[in-house]
Structure formats: structure tokens, C-alpha cells
Amino acid sequence: MDRRAFLKTSLVAGGAAVTGREARAQEEAHPEEFVGILVDTTRCIGCRSCEVACGETWGLHVPDPVNDGALEHERTTSDNQYMIVNRYDTDAGEVFVKKQCMHCHQPACAAACPTEAMKKHPNGPITWDGDKCIGCRFCMVSCPFDIPKFEYGDWNPELKKCTMCFDRLKEGEQPACVAACPTDTLMFGTQVQNLSIARHRIARHPDQYVPHIYGDREVGGTGYIYLSAVPFEQLGFRMDLGRTPYPEYTREFLYAVPAILFGVPAFLLALNAMTGAARGDPESDFGWEPEFGEDE
Amino acid sequence: MSQLATVNPGIGQIFRFLIQELKPRGPIFTPFNIITGAIMLVGAYVLVIRFIYGLGSVTNLSQEFPWGLWLGFDVVTGVALAGGAYVITYTVYVMRVDQYHSIVRVTVLNSLLAYMFYGSALIFDIGRPWHALNPFIGNNFGYSSVLFLICWHFMIYMVATAIEFSPVVAEYLNLQKARKFLVKLTLGTVILGITLSMLHQSGLGALFLMAKPKIHPLWWSEFIPLLFFVSSIYAGLAMIIFEGSLSHRIFGDLIPEKSHHAFEGIVFGLAKGAAITMFVYYFFKALLFIHGQHWEHLSDGWGAWFLFEVIGFVLIPAFMFAFGYKNRSIVIIRIAAVLALLGVILNRLNVSVITFKWYLPDHYYPSWQEIVVTLAVISAEIWVFRWIVKRMPVFKPAH
């Protein structure tokens, strides 16, 4: 083996050692593809059947869409409603927008959780596990969409958020809101399917849609994606969240942890040994203790 | 009791010793005791309500503002102010600078108590405290979570600090052999403590990295962890000056004459250290400000609030520390220490609570119950501190 080949081999071997975990992760790949939901806001008629279905499925607040006048003001999800529909007055007239957990591909809530109570499943949905949760609410602080909701009025509070009907998906059913939608505003499918349908609609009807799929790139991509006839800022979406997946913001800090955890003690032990030797302390190691006070 | 003593004199003795030591020394009904006692009683009552009816019954926390005074002040700020221990133990044990040795014990004790009381105040704030051990046990390790790291560090740091302080307890109980052994652990625990402090002081800042869109851009930066670490150095130094000045007044009779005089010299050294750290911190802040092109943010009230914090409570006390050191003015140094402490409190609260969701019309402010519990935690810490320094050789060597 000549020197060049040797160097090359060792570099590759070294690289594999460093990135081994990542390579393995890629090999395993996702057995299932992420599923998600496409929301085409141009189709929504604001009937709020989805809200009713969600409330009924999860034993939460079941609204009365005809009489409760809830569209009069902008609402947020709550500890009693995993999803809501808001009405916005836009350049294209009234537009109704369903809001719920976005099921981010790389979720801030799960990265924040100290006990893995917030969990991103391999097929996409993010769920909450009450046996693990300590109730620190770090997920609420971190979520860019302010989705997890906490039961402040309960001695044993839970964190409430949309699960994309994780239990129904296991049974092979669609999420309750999607099943209830009479206008095909909501479409359930794999992320790849949903994105190609969304792109197709924009390409076919450039006059009906703005050329932007909200959730395609936002915060690194989300399970819910949205189509709209008007710019998304008119629909109460935050446009300043960026494209960086939120866990990236703490990743650099966490990478620094082992460096400090081992680098600093090594450095300090060396400093201590050197000062001890320089001062000629009789016992220049762990037993060193200066005289205290020296009074009396 | 006497029978128990005859059967097992060891236990009986220990029991009698405990009873005798638990008795307060000095007058009981002082104004300080009456006020803090009342605060603690009301605080305990508030906590009972909190555990029966939920966090919402006593706090102003909401879906929009999940973290308030208990986390922002008790935990995030309280731990920053306890940074003195790692700075002083570094100086004394790693660098072997004897001159600061007389303040090691009291500083370590303060830090230990701060973590025990303020760090542990997390228990009141988390919604499901009966799961509090989950980050430590079972298959629940959230390795990617900054809070997971902090939980572990708080726990290990408390153990390390307790070992650092343990020789004092051994002296108090007259256990010479134990003391000899515990002293041998000091350097190891000190180095562990310094390392953990660097990580969790900055980690408390890293808690807010993912809250990027919610914290005012003048306060959010990807360098919050470093800013928190650097400011915890001078926060700790200022706290030693502040607490030391109070202790020397209140517990003057417990402090040997020699340490009393030495303390002035120590204060000057600490002031110089604080001045330098604060200038570095200020420079760092200015760099981030210019680099982030934040000029347009200065035009409104938040801009003024930012300048108020950074100039009024960082730059000015930095100059005062430097001036006080140069002109040997202990009064100016003490004022600078108070300003620097207020600055750190202001900074931590700005990041964690005050500028959080600055764009919302209705903002969180603490309820009276949250304030009372915070004061109760501080009162309880002072009571325990007083109990210990009146019994154990914290200010002076064992007899």
C-alpha cells in the first residue's frame, strides 16, 4: 500500500468512526413515510365540522358552529380544543383557516422535553405521554406556533395538543377532522403526496393561489401544509419563524457540553498541578488545603 | 428517653444533640423574624392552594406566558447570583491564592443554599412534580433537551458543593477522621463544580434559544449561553461583596478580627475582578448589538429599556468598581455591587419574562401569591443560613 492509499483508507475509516451513527441512521431509513395533512384554505367554507369532530373524538369542547359566534374573533387552540377555525378578512374576501399543531418534522417541543414526553413518531405525528411529563412547560416556551396548552386549573395538569389522531391512524383511519371535512379542504396523505398535490394546484391555477406552501420550508418543514389565495400574513401566520429547524438552535450548545465536560477538568487539573509545583507545596495534589483564618 | 439512651447511648445522644441544636439562639421575636415568619406562613398556605387547585389558582401564568416569576427569578436569576462559589473555589483551590481563603466557606455555603432553595423552587413551578425524578430514572432521558442537562447538573452540583462544604460540618461535629477524608475530596469536587457551573450557567441561557421568535431581538442572541456565563462571574463576585458586607455587620461577633480586616482587601480584589468581567461583558453586548444591526430597535420604549439595563446597570457599575478600586473607596464598590446585582436580575428577568412576547397587548405580571412564595423561599434560605453560621465554623476555624 503506498502512502496515498494508506492516508485515504485511514481518512475514510476515521470519517466512518466519527459519523458512524449518522451513516447507520441513514441505512435504517424511515420504514414509514411521514404522513401529514394538506389544508387548502381556498376550499374552506367555515362550517367547522372539523372542530365538532375533533371535540367529539377527544372528549373536548364540542362547539355549536351555528350559534356560538366563535368566528367573530380570532381564537387560539386551548386546553379544551385541539384545533379551531378562524375567519380572516383578506384581499380575497373572507378566508377560513384551521389551526392546530403543525407536527414539525424536527419539533422544538420534543427537543425541549427533558423526559421525552413529547414524542415525534416515525410516521409523523407528535404525541404527549402523561407518564413521563413533569409539567415544566419548556415545550410551550419553545414551540414556534404556541401549540401545547397546559391545564392551569388542575392539580394534575396535562399538556393538551393535537395528536393528528395518532390512535385512529393506527386503526387505519383518517384523522377525525379530515374525515369530517365536506369540501376536501383537508387532505390526509404522505408528505410527498401532499406536497406534489399542493405544487400541482399552484402550477395549474396560478391565478387562484399565491406561490407559497406554508409548512414546506417553515421551521424546516411541517406535517401540516397550507395553500392560500392571499399572502399568509393575512391569515394570521407568522412569517418570521425562519427555515431553520428549531432544535438546531440548541444543538451547538449541546455539542459544546462534552468538550467542556472533559476539556475544562483536564485544564484545571493541569493548572493546579503546575501552581502547586511552582509554589513548592509539600503535597501538590488532592490533599492540599491552605490554613484557615490563622487567628487565636 | 433515658431508657433509650441506656439501650443505645449513640442514638440518644444524637437525639439530644439535635434537639439542643435546633433551638434558636438569640431572641426569637425580632422584627425580622416576625416579618419573614409571616411571609413563610403565607407562602406555605399559597403552596397548599397551588397543589390542590393547580398553578392557575395562585399564579398569573397563562397559555401565552408559561413561565413567570418562579422560574424567571427563583431559578434563572437565583442561580446566576450563586455564581460566586465557582469563581472563589477556582481562585483558592485551583490557583492556590490563599488571600481569598477566609471567604471560601461562606461563599460555598451561600451557593449550596441558593441551589437547594432556588434551584429546588422548580418543584413548585412544574405541573407534575411527582414525576420530577423522571429525568433521572427509567427510559425517559431527553438527551436533546437543555433542561435535561440542567436537571442533572443541578443535582450533581448540589452534591459536589455539599462535599466541598462537608469538612465544616465534620469540624462542627468534631469528626476528625471524616474531616480528613472529606478534605481530600475538595479539589476533585471543586473542579467538577467549576465545570458544571460553566455548563449550567450557560445552559440556563440556552433554555431560551428556541424561544427566538418570542423574545425581543435586543435580548435574544445565539450567544445567550455565553452572555449568561460571563455575567454569572460578576454576579457571583458582586453577591460576595454584597452578602459579605451584610454578614460582617450582622454576624460581626462571629467573625474573627483578622478576617474582618482581611475582608476589606478581599473586597478590593473582587471589585477589580468584577470591573474587568463587566467591561468584557459590556463589550460583548455592544458587539452583538452592532453585529445584529439593532439600531432601529432603539427607537421605541424597548430600546430605552435596553439602554437602561446595559448602560445603567452594566457600564456604570463597571466604571464604579474600577473607580472604587483605584481610589480605595469601599462605599462606591458596595453601591456598584448593588447596581451590578440589579443589572443581572434585570437581565435575567428581561430574557425570561419581561420581553417574552413583547408584541402582545396584555403582558404577564406576577400575582401577589407568586411574589410571596418567592419572598418565602428567600426568607427560608436566610433562616437556614443563619442557623448554620451560628453553629458551624463558617467564618472561623474549629476550636
pLDDT digits (tens, 9 = 90+) for B138-158: 667 888 899 999 988 889 999
Tens digits of per-residue pLDDT, A84-111?
999 999 998 999 999 999 999 999 999 9
pLDDT at B136: 83
- State the distance between the two ends of chain A, measured CA to CA, in whole angstroms: 76
Rounded Cα gap, residues B82 and B110, in angstroms: 7
- Answer whether A277 touches B (CB < 8 Å): no
pLDDT at A222 over 80: yes
Strand A149-150, strand A159-160: pairing: antiparallel
Tens digits of per-residue pLDDT, A255-278?
999 999 999 999 999 999 898 888
pLDDT at B6: 45
Cβ proximity of B229 and B202 under 8 Å: yes
Find the CB nearest A261 among B51, B183, B199: B199
For residues B5 and B56, which has the higher predicted lDDT (pLDDT)? B56
pLDDT at B27: 82
ipTM exceeding the 0.95 mark:
no
Interface test with A, best of B144, B259, B362, B399 (most A CBs within 10 A): B144
Alpha helices in A88-236 (DSSP H): 108-112, 138-142, 166-170, 176-180, 191-204
For residues B338 and B120, which has the higher predicted lDDT (pLDDT)? B338
Residues of A in contact with B109 (CB under 8 A): none
DSSP letter at A93?
E
Question: A102: which 3 cell numbers?
Answer: 403543525
Verify whether the Cβ–Cβ distance A115 to B397 is below 8 Å.
no
Residue A65 burial (C-beta neighbours within 10 Å; 0-12, 13-18, 19+): middle
**In angstroms, what is the C-alpha Rg of chain A?**
27
What confidence category does residue B377 fall into, taking pLDDT thresholds of 50, 70 and 90? very high
What confidence category does residue A168 fall into, taking pLDDT thresholds of 50, 70 and 90? very high
Alpha helices in B185-254 (DSSP H): 186-206, 224-250
pLDDT at B138: 65
Average pLDDT of the segment spanning A216-230: 96
The DSSP H or E segment spanning B265 is helix B257-291
Rounded Cα gap, residues B271 and B283, in angstroms: 18
A residues 206-245 near B, CB within 8 Å? 238, 240-242
Find the CB nearest A276 among B96, B122, B131: B96
**Of the candidates B329, B220, B340, B209, the residue with the CA atom closest to the CA atom of residue B274:** B340
Residues of A in contact with B101 (CB under 8 A): 290-292
pLDDT at A187: 96
Tens digits of per-residue pLDDT, B249-273?
888 888 888 888 888 899 999 999 9
Tens digits of per-residue pLDDT, B90-117?
999 998 888 898 899 999 999 999 999 9
Q: Give the distance from CA B179 to its chain's centroid.
A: 27
Chain A residue closest to B215 (CA)?
A: A141
What confidence category does residue A286 fall into, taking pLDDT thresholds of 50, 70 and 90? very low
Identity at A243, one-letter amino acid code = R
Torsion angle in degrees (nearest 10) through CA of A236, A241, A244, A245:
-60
Rounded Cα gap, residues B110 and B113, in angstroms: 5
pLDDT at B68 over 60: yes
What confidence category does residue A13 fall into, taking pLDDT thresholds of 50, 70 and 90? very low
Average pLDDT of the segment spanning B28-32: 88
A residues 20-49 near B, CB within 8 Å? none
Rounded Cα gap, residues B261 and A132, in angstroms: 54
pLDDT at A182 over 70: yes
pLDDT at A296 over 50: no
How near does any CA of chain A get to the CA of B143, in Å? Answer: 7
**Of the candidates B364, B362, B353, B371, the residue with the CA atom closest to the CA atom of residue B58:** B371
Identity at B125, one-letter amino acid code = D
pLDDT at B12 over 90: no
Cβ proximity of A129 and A119 under 8 Å: yes
For residues A30 and B32, which has the higher predicted lDDT (pLDDT)? B32
What confidence category does residue B340 fall into, taking pLDDT thresholds of 50, 70 and 90? very high
pLDDT at B262: 84
The DSSP H or E segment spanning A117 is none
pLDDT at A16 over 50: no
What confidence category does residue A249 fall into, taking pLDDT thresholds of 50, 70 and 90? very high
Percent of chain B with pLDDT over 90: 70
Verify whether the Cβ–Cβ distance B127 to A135 is below 8 Å.
yes
pLDDT at B40 over 80: yes
- Spell out the residues 6+ positions from residue A217 whose beta carbon is closer than 8 angstroms to its own: A243
pLDDT at B397: 58
pLDDT at A18 over 90: no
Verify whether the Cβ–Cβ distance A135 to B126 is below 8 Å.
yes
Average pLDDT of the segment spanning A204-212: 95
Torsion angle in degrees (nearest 10) through CA of A168, A172, A176, A182:
180
Find the CB nearest B94 among A112, A154, A272: A272
Rounded Cα gap, residues B144 and A108, in angstroms: 10
Bridge partners (DSSP) of residue A40 are: A227
**Of the candidates A124, A93, A293, A111, the residue with the CA atom closest to the CA atom of residue A194:** A124
pLDDT at A292: 47
What confidence category does residue B214 fall into, taking pLDDT thresholds of 50, 70 and 90? very high
pLDDT at B8 over 80: no
What confidence category does residue A282 fall into, taking pLDDT thresholds of 50, 70 and 90? low
Identity at B11, one-letter amino acid code = I
- Spell out the residues 6+ positions from residue B264 whose beta carbon is closer than 8 angstroms to its own: B330
The DSSP H or E segment spanning B259 is helix B257-291
- Spell out the residues 6+ positions from residue A260 whose beta carbon is closer than 8 angstroms to its own: B195, B198, B199
pLDDT at A12: 44
Rounded Cα gap, residues A82 and B143, in angstroms: 28
Rounded Cα gap, residues A181 and A156, in angstroms: 34
Residue B43: φ, ψ to 5°: -60, -45
When the pLDDT of each residue in chain A is averaged and rounded to a whole number, the result is: 87
Cβ proximity of B374 and B68 under 8 Å: no
Cβ proximity of A284 and B105 under 8 Å: no
**Of the candidates B307, B241, B281, B302, the residue with the CA atom closest to the CA atom of residue B106:** B241
Residues of A in contact with B129 (CB under 8 A): 134-135
Each residue of B317-337: b (16+ CB within 10 Å) or e?
Answer: bbbbbbebbeeebeebbbbbb
Cβ proximity of A79 and A65 under 8 Å: no
Verify whether the Cβ–Cβ distance A138 to B96 is below 8 Å.
no
What confidence category does residue B9 fall into, taking pLDDT thresholds of 50, 70 and 90? low
Find the CB nearest A151 among B54, B187, B188: B54
- Answer whether A138 touches B (CB < 8 Å): yes
Question: B206: which 3 cell numbers?
Answer: 440556552
Question: B255: which 3 cell numbers?
Answer: 467573625
For residues A280 and B45, which has the higher predicted lDDT (pLDDT)? B45
